Structure 1
């Protein structure tokens, strides 16, 4: 069971995983050693899945985001696994979601420029049969990040 300090620790870490334990401890009114033990407990309990660095997409040369909506006429377990393998081998596909509704999957694709999307598209359709793919270019990111609300965590 999480308490309010645990939630504050989780919230702070997902905004800055490199925060010093002493600074985090001050933020949640704990000693550094007690705060460190809580972090370890949260990691062991699976609340913290991993710690990563979020890169500046402009600086690493992939500022363009394309969202691709995918329809398939295949829904077997084998096809789904082949699709997972196909997209996992394409580093430009940075997120993939299975959907309800008219489309089956949503892919978030990071590329240097719009024209590079066609290269990614061709690599994908060479690997797996798709019924329809509709692409949408993001004009502006209004909100981005990996942080999730922690107030629901128990």
Structure 2
């Protein structure tokens, strides 16, 4: 779907769902000034178009006993598809890696890792370097989470 396929009502619905995806359709409809059926259709359209990829539970890291967040920047030893495929498979298989991105600049990839403590991080680190070669690995431990959201801006729809 293109930009013009979504309107302000879709933006409002999406903003509401990003805060609470369990909110009943009737409550969403009331907030956006429509009846339940058109709101349900709009949500289904956003799901079928792929705009809404999934509805998930956001888990509290501390209560899940993984309060430590570590960002790991790595540089590949060479830029080859074979290495990239192995890296991608490796990070998919390590549950502590909750996010990963390919970057421009001096660092090739960055991973967000959540663990209970530094010993658990060391086990993740050792697994990474045991299974794949890296030119450099730089880790930064987060001292404080200043902002966390899963919501993306809807004004650009």
Tell me which interval the TM-score lies in, with the shorter structure as reference length: over 0.9
TM-align CA RMSD: 0.8
Q: Aligned equivalents of 2:118 and 2:70: distance in 1? A: 8
2:57 is equivalent to residue 53 of structure 1: yes
Deviation at 1:72, TM superposition (A): 1.4
- The residue number in structure 1 matching 2:130 is 126
2:20 is equivalent to residue 16 of structure 1: yes
Q: What TM-score, normalized by structure 2, do the two folds share?
A: 0.95
Deviation at 1:141, TM superposition (A): 0.3
Residue 79 of structure 2, aligned match among 75, 81, 86? 75
Q: Aligned equivalents of 2:72 and 2:116: distance in 1? A: 16
2:83 is equivalent to residue 110 of structure 1: no
Deviation at 1:115, TM superposition (A): 2.5
Q: Aligned equivalents of 1:118 and 1:34: distance in 2? A: 51
2:104 is equivalent to residue 100 of structure 1: yes
Residue 140 of structure 2, aligned match among 113, 122, 136? 136
- The residue number in structure 1 matching 2:9 is 5
Deviation at 1:46, TM superposition (A): 1.3
Runs (5+) with no aligned partner, structure 1: none
Deviation at 1:89, TM superposition (A): 0.4
1:104-128 Cα distance to aligned partner (Å, 9 max, x none):
0111000001221110001111111
1:58-115 Cα distance to aligned partner (Å, 9 max, x none):
1111011000110112211111011000111000000001111111011100000122
- The residue number in structure 2 matching 1:66 is 70
Runs of 4+ deviating beyond 3 Å: none
Q: Aligned equivalents of 2:50 and 2:72: distance in 1? A: 31
2:93 is equivalent to residue 89 of structure 1: yes
Query: Helix, strand or coil for the counterpart of 1:65?
Result: strand
